[in-house]
Amino acid sequence: MLSGFAITYLELLSLIAMQAVLGDAVMASITVRNLPDETHRALRVRAAQNGRSTEAEVREILEEAVRPKKRLKIGSELAAFGDKHKLDDLNIQREAEVHRIASFE
């Protein structure tokens, strides 16, 4: 046994199983220090206007800031481009010739 090892093997397996079951349910948390009182008051007012807790309001603000609903979705844009330019009928065929593998000797 390792000396000073604070967690048993069974506890470790339990934690791994919990993570597998919960998946994304285990979420990160942050602490915001030195938030001015006026900002905190404004957050509480905004949260009340939206029918949310202050914590839920901060989550919503952060989510919208880093993952806006109108963000560019490259897959959707490429599909729209293909539809617009009729690329679904594009028939690309591979060359029939078998390529040689390069030799560096």
CATH of 9-87, one of 2.70.70.10, 3.40.630.30, 1.10.10.10, 1.10.1220.10: 1.10.1220.10
Element (H, E) at 83: helix 74-84
54 or 67, which is more confident?
54
Handedness of CA 24, 26, 28, 31 (dihedral sign): positive
Domain parsing of the chain, residue ranges:
9-87
Is residue 1 over pLDDT 50?
no
Nearest Cα to 61, choosing from 51, 40, 47? Answer: 47
- The whole-chain average pLDDT of the chain stands at 79
Task: Report the C-alpha gap between 27 and 18 in whole angstroms.
Answer: 13
Angstrom distances, CA of residue 20 to CA of 13, 14, 16, 26, 80: 11, 10, 6, 10, 36
The pTM of the full predicted model, rounded to 2 decimals, is 0.46
